[in-house]
Chain A
Amino acid sequence: MNPSAIELRAVRKRFGDTAVINGVTLAIARGERHAIIGPNGAGKSTLFNLISGRHPVSEGAILLNGAPISGLKPFEINRRGLARSFQVTNIFHNLSVFENIRCAVLWPLGYRYSFWHRLSGLRDARERAEAVMEEIGLARRRDTPAGVLSYAEQRALEFGITIAGGAEVILLDEPTAGMNRSETAAATALIRKVAAGRTLVMVEHDMSVVFDLADRITVLVYGAVIASGPPAAIRADPRVQEAYLGTANA
């Protein structure tokens, strides 16, 4: 059987005495669009930080395409084909939009730590960066320093850096946070397009985005999974309605 893209086995995370993740077991199949929802403080972002290697797990194991990744550094996990975005925009503010994106394609294209290639001679890196800029709608802002972009543009760049490397598994932490209705619609369409052929996991508060995009939904409450399944089943689940949707959809 094909291994899952991401698998969590009895994962626990404690910060000091506070248990934030209480034994999460979860499998996300390849090619799936999976949303993780739950009330504030449920541990969704922490779960992302564990999967992407930002924080080490306290107990349990995390597997990427069947291979254990818990204990690896973020860059090691990234090189194995997992990229993530951040809830709080996390970009290279002194570099131009183009440089931001190009930095994100250098490792996957094999240029690594090279100090013997001329950047301006790397056609593949330039073309890939330009294609991504086109895709996220920032081609016009090519030479603008990232730090002076508008909020929505910075969110787009954040997304662009995440997808530019061509990772198979993509984690998006609240990709539409702070966006208005039309921006959210554009972002949703873009995510759908980019997710084709890849595995997508996202934390999202906007229920219309979640039910629009996700193949499966996992509901996290107090660091534990209370339900996981297709959108229709989640919508109908009484525990979910009680714990979460009941307040959100009232």
Chain B
Amino acid sequence: MSTEARRCEPLNPWRWLPWGGAAAALALLPLVFRHGFALTLLSQMGIMVIFALSYNMLLGQSGLLSFGHAVYSGLGAYCAVHALNLIGKGQLAFPVSALPLVGGVSGALFGVLFGWVTTKKSGTTFAMISLGIAEMVAACSLMLPGFFGGEGGVTANRTVGRAFLGISYGPATQVYYLIAVWTMVATAAMFALTRTPLGRIANAVRDNPERAEFIGYDTHVVRFLQLVLAAFFAGVSGALAAINFEIVSAEALGASRSGGVLLATFIGGTGWFVGPIIGAVVYTFFVGAISSVTKAWLLYLGLFFIVMVLFAPGGVASLAAANLRVAKAGLFGRLAPAYGAALGAGLAALGGFATIVEMIYYHELEAVNDPVLRLLGLRLDVTTAPPWFGAAVVLAAGGAAFWVAARRVRVRWNEVHERLGRGSA
């Protein structure tokens, strides 16, 4: 969170370092990861970064837990894909590069349409109404096949625009750079919004809506405006997804996408601006990369989410920030051995657990053809007892060691923070 605004802010080069670094990384990444799959993954990460940041305008900044944020990205995607088809038919003159604006504006308009009712109250009421609206829109997607394209969705061709300076959006690299540019612009815009009167008052409404009413603010209007702005950026991300995949189906506004963005944002951390960026990258990696390696990826994602909620409820970002503070005080050395032990034990337990999970999948789906599962150079015959027994022992031993190590981490952590507390008081 920001305790910004020192007296005056002269041109501080350090302030621009993260932005410059991010821009350089986005520009150079495709040169490092030349593989087509990596490029697809990077494109999806950019889309998810915008989506998760827009979600955090509600969850982290305004205290609004939404179960239906995909409504705005999905409807934005549909409007964008229809606009793209109109461009293709020559009925609309609009550059494909600016299509995310169509997604954003339509997302915001749907935000205006649904938002006034949903933001009347915060807390559980808001969460429940957002769920209801999501179900309603999902039902509409089946009732109105003309707009939503029914089961198959709406397809489009992104190369229909007139090529400008050789940019036709045929090659995936060009789409990647389009997404990269929009990710930078949208991220900068959302960051700027956190430092406006509305952005700060949204924090105040999150902390204490009652008091906000007594300093002149209609909390309903504050929540509504935040939702409309968040819906705009969700729509931008939806339009980029439409360009990237050249198809939009009902999945785009479904519950699993709404749940996904909640997961991603929470894993990254809602209390920091960079949190959702980290979360989007981790989440997309899980969905994209791990799912190509194992069928059980959703199970691992669920496990990871539970571990995060239990051990780092502030997300990756706050975990990193807390350790950075320790490192700055020169106390990280006291934590490192305990961390190492916990990490080793945790990896062992995870290995045992994953082996069992993979063996179960293999046993149920593949073992009829060949009873031997090849896993990281091991040959495990899933029809015999020893591999199961071995994996169970590793899981039990690793789990027990982790239990002990985690307690040591906690003890060391408290020691370190007692010192830190004394230092600052």
Q: Which residue of the partner chain A has the closest CB to B222?
A: A113
Question: Do the beta carbons of B216 and A79 come within 8 Å of each other?
Answer: yes
Asked if B364 is at the interface of the complex by the 8 Å CB criterion, the answer is no
Instruction: Bits for B191-208, please: 1 = Cβ < 8 Å to A, else 0.
Output: 011011111110110111
For the complex formed, measure the closest distance between the CB of A154 and the CB atoms of chain B, giving whole angstroms.
12
Question: Do the beta carbons of B197 and A75 come within 8 Å of each other?
Answer: no
Question: Do the beta carbons of A103 and B1 come within 8 Å of each other?
Answer: no
Question: Do the beta carbons of A165 and B215 come within 8 Å of each other?
Answer: yes
Query: Which residues on A sit within 8 Å (CB–CB) of B375?
Result: none
For the complex formed, measure the closest distance between the CB of B221 and the CB atoms of chain A, giving whole angstroms.
6
Asked if B218 is at the interface of the complex by the 8 Å CB criterion, the answer is yes
Instruction: Bits for A10-46, please: 1 = Cβ < 8 Å to B, else 0.
Output: 0000000000000000000000000000000000000
Question: Do the beta carbons of A119 and B208 come within 8 Å of each other?
Answer: no
Query: Which residues on A sit within 8 Å (CB–CB) of B5?
Result: 98, 119-120, 126
For the complex formed, measure the closest distance between the CB of B9 and the CB atoms of chain A, giving whole angstroms.
6
Question: Do the beta carbons of A113 and B216 come within 8 Å of each other?
Answer: no
Query: Which residues on B sit within 8 Å (CB–CB) of A124?
Result: none
Q: Which of B4, B199, B216, B219 has the most CB of A within 10 A?
A: B216
Q: Which residue of the partner chain B has the closest CB to A96?
A: B3
Question: Do the beta carbons of A113 and B197 come within 8 Å of each other?
Answer: yes
A91 to B197, CA, bound (A): 18
For the complex formed, measure the closest distance between the CB of B418 and the CB atoms of chain A, giving whole angstroms.
16
Asked if A222 is at the interface of the complex by the 8 Å CB criterion, the answer is no
For the complex formed, measure the closest distance between the CB of B231 and the CB atoms of chain A, giving whole angstroms.
14
Spot the interface stretch: A57-65, A104-112, A179-187, A238-246. Answer: A104-112
A50 to B174, CA, bound (A): 62
For the complex formed, measure the closest distance between the CB of A147 and the CB atoms of chain B, giving whole angstroms.
9
A112 to B215, CA, bound (A): 11
Asked if B50 is at the interface of the complex by the 8 Å CB criterion, the answer is no
For the complex formed, measure the closest distance between the CB of B61 and the CB atoms of chain A, giving whole angstroms.
11
A73 to B198, CA, bound (A): 20
Majority secondary structure of chain B interface residues (helix, strand, loop or mixed): helix
For the complex formed, measure the closest distance between the CB of B272 and the CB atoms of chain A, giving whole angstroms.
12
Neighbour of B195 across the interface among A73, A92, A104, A118, CB < 8 A: A118
For the complex formed, measure the closest distance between the CB of B146 and the CB atoms of chain A, giving whole angstroms.
36
Given A95-B204, A113-B221, A117-B196, is A143 in contact with B3 using a C-beta cutoff of 8 Å? yes
Q: Which residue of the partner chain B has the closest CB to A83?
A: B214
Question: Do the beta carbons of B1 and A106 come within 8 Å of each other?
Answer: no
Number of interface residues of A (CB under 8 A): 43
Question: Do the beta carbons of A161 and B221 come within 8 Å of each other?
Answer: no
A100 to B198, CA, bound (A): 14
Query: Which residues on B sit within 8 Å (CB–CB) of A161?
Result: 211, 215
Neighbour of B217 across the interface among A75, A116, A120, A143, CB < 8 A: A75
Q: Which residue of the partner chain B has the closest CB to A97?
A: B3
Asked if A99 is at the interface of the complex by the 8 Å CB criterion, the answer is yes
Neighbour of B197 across the interface among A78, A98, A112, CB < 8 A: A112
Question: Do the beta carbons of B203 and A92 come within 8 Å of each other?
Answer: yes
Question: Do the beta carbons of B196 and A119 come within 8 Å of each other?
Answer: yes
Query: Which residues on A sit within 8 Å (CB–CB) of B206?
Result: 94
Question: Do the beta carbons of B225 and A93 come within 8 Å of each other?
Answer: no
Number of interface residues of B (CB under 8 A): 33
Given A99-B3, A113-B221, A113-B225, is A78 in contact with B213 using a C-beta cutoff of 8 Å? yes
For the complex formed, measure the closest distance between the CB of B247 and the CB atoms of chain A, giving whole angstroms.
34
Asked if A74 is at the interface of the complex by the 8 Å CB criterion, the answer is yes
A108 to B215, CA, bound (A): 9
Asked if A52 is at the interface of the complex by the 8 Å CB criterion, the answer is yes
Question: Do the beta carbons of A115 and B9 come within 8 Å of each other?
Answer: no
Question: Do the beta carbons of A111 and B197 come within 8 Å of each other?
Answer: yes
Question: Do the beta carbons of B207 and A92 come within 8 Å of each other?
Answer: yes
Neighbour of A120 across the interface among B4, B211, B216, B225, CB < 8 A: B4
Neighbour of B214 across the interface among A75, A106, A115, A118, CB < 8 A: A75
A54 to B212, CA, bound (A): 12
Question: Do the beta carbons of A103 and B208 come within 8 Å of each other?
Answer: no
Q: Name the interface residues of B63-91: CB closer than 8 Å to any CB of A.
A: none
Asked if A90 is at the interface of the complex by the 8 Å CB criterion, the answer is yes
Neighbour of B199 across the interface among A73, A100, A102, A115, CB < 8 A: A115
Query: Which residues on A sit within 8 Å (CB–CB) of B192?
Result: 118
Query: Which residues on A sit within 8 Å (CB–CB) of B213?
Result: 73-75, 78
Asked if A114 is at the interface of the complex by the 8 Å CB criterion, the answer is yes
Instruction: Bits for B2-33, please: 1 = Cβ < 8 Å to A, else 0.
Output: 01110001000000000000000000000000
Asked if B227 is at the interface of the complex by the 8 Å CB criterion, the answer is no
Q: Which residue of the partner chain B has the closest CB to A76?
A: B218
Asked if B251 is at the interface of the complex by the 8 Å CB criterion, the answer is no
Instruction: Bits for B165-200, please: 1 = Cβ < 8 Å to A, else 0.
Output: 000000000000000000000000000110111111
Instruction: Bits for B110-133, please: 1 = Cβ < 8 Å to A, else 0.
Output: 000000000000000000000000
5 shortest A-B CB distances, which residue pairs?
A107-B216, A92-B207, A74-B213, A115-B198, A111-B197
26 examples of A-B residue contacts, CB within 8 angstroms: A74-B210, A75-B216, A75-B219, A79-B216, A92-B204, A92-B208, A94-B1, A95-B200, A95-B203, A95-B204, A98-B5, A102-B200, A103-B204, A104-B215, A113-B197, A113-B221, A114-B196, A114-B197, A114-B198, A115-B193, A115-B225, A118-B192, A118-B196, A119-B200, A161-B215, A164-B215
Residues of A within 8 A of B (CB): 52, 54, 73-75, 78-79, 83-84, 86, 90-96, 98-100, 102-104, 106-108, 111-120, 122, 126, 143, 145, 161, 164-165
| Besides A107-B216, A143-B3, 18 other A-B contacts (C-beta < 8 A) | A73-B218, A75-B216, A75-B218, A90-B211, A92-B207, A92-B212, A93-B207, A95-B203, A100-B204, A103-B204, A103-B212, A111-B197, A113-B201, A115-B196, A117-B196, A119-B199, A120-B4, A120-B5
